[in-house]
Amino acid sequence: MNLAVAQFEPKDGDKAYNLSVIESLALKAKSQKADVISFHEMSITAYTFTKDLSLNEINALAEEIPHGKSTQKLVEISKEMDIPILAGLIEKDNGKLYNTYIAVDKNGVLAKYRKIHPFISEHMSVGNQYVVFDLMGWKCGILICYDNNVIENVRATALLGAELIFAPHVTGCTPSSMPGRGYVEDKYWQNREMDPVPLRMEFDGPKGRGWLMKWLPARAYDNGLYYAFSNPIGYDGAHLKNGNSMIIDPYGEVLSETRSFEDDIAISKLSKEKIKLSGGWRYKNARRPELYNEIIGQEHSSETMPIWMK
């Protein structure tokens, strides 16, 4: 599989614009021989601005799947360009709202995943199941943003057979208890063309890529699978994001990555042979679950809210 991951700067609530960017980047990916392209979390609606929306406002953005206009437009784009597309939106179903990510091809929806650790809006309901689906002969899973921070989610998806995990995010450049984390000042973004180095240093440091490198490669390495990380570039709501969409192999190595400050893609060729040669594959097969079944499965109260929202 030739896999593409995308980064772009979305417009808040402007589904028509965001879908037009998805269309143009899908065309770019197809022209560069990509077989599949994936976009970031809630890429159709934008994400961060929804934290301040009322129930009526967020409900107005939401759509049913698969019959909603955005899903149908994705299928139309996929059919026209003959490339499967993965993207995110707000789903409404039986009076509930979800942060949902879908995979489509020319025939319709291949998979739908609801974020199981949502926090951006009190009006969002939690998803309650993992998803593994077939895509071009590959077993693929989906985990949205915070879901990837909980290592049990990644292991569970891997144990369900995933060889590749799509990890759509809107992350980076927000405050945390970790030293060096925080917002990136707007002045660096506004001056990115005249003096790009300070912005690149901010994005590559502990506020952005440096933080990603502490854990993203570990998820791929420990589980012996590929990771497709996608993230917006520029502003999502009031937050500046660092992009750095990347593809990581089962050895934990970055195969390709977006490095511009523009709407862009990165493409890598995935090979199944790497999976069974990886350490994570061997360690997964060496597990002794009888030692920790009851420990991992014991009652626990989940706390998801990040520091920047408290």
pLDDT tens-digit profile of 149-168? 999 999 999 999 999 999 99
Distance (Å, whole) CA 7 – CA 166: 14
CA separation for the pair 104, 86 (Å, rounded) = 6
d(CA 223, CA 206): 25
Give the CATH number, domain containing residue 76: 3.60.110.10
- From residue 64, alpha-carbon distances to 45, 85, 113, 122, 134 in Å are 14, 18, 13, 19, 23
Kindly indicate the confidence band of residue 128, based on its pLDDT and cuts at 50, 70 and 90.
very high
Of the candidates 114, 112, 113, which has an alpha carbon nearest to the alpha carbon of residue 98? 114
Model's pTM, two decimal places?
0.96
Torsion angle of C-alpha atoms 209, 193, 5, 123, degrees rounded to 10 = 70
Sign of CA dihedral 52, 55, 58, 60: negative
Cis peptide before 10 (omega within 30 of 0): no
Domain count for the chain: 1
In 3D, which of 278, 262, 279, 259 has the Cα closest to residue 270?
Answer: 278
Residue-level pLDDT at 5: 98
What are the pLDDT digits (tens) for 212-235? Answer: 999 999 999 999 999 999 999 999
Q: Give the dihedral sign, CA 184/187/190/191.
A: negative
Full residue range of the structural domain in which residue 233 is found: 2-294+303-309
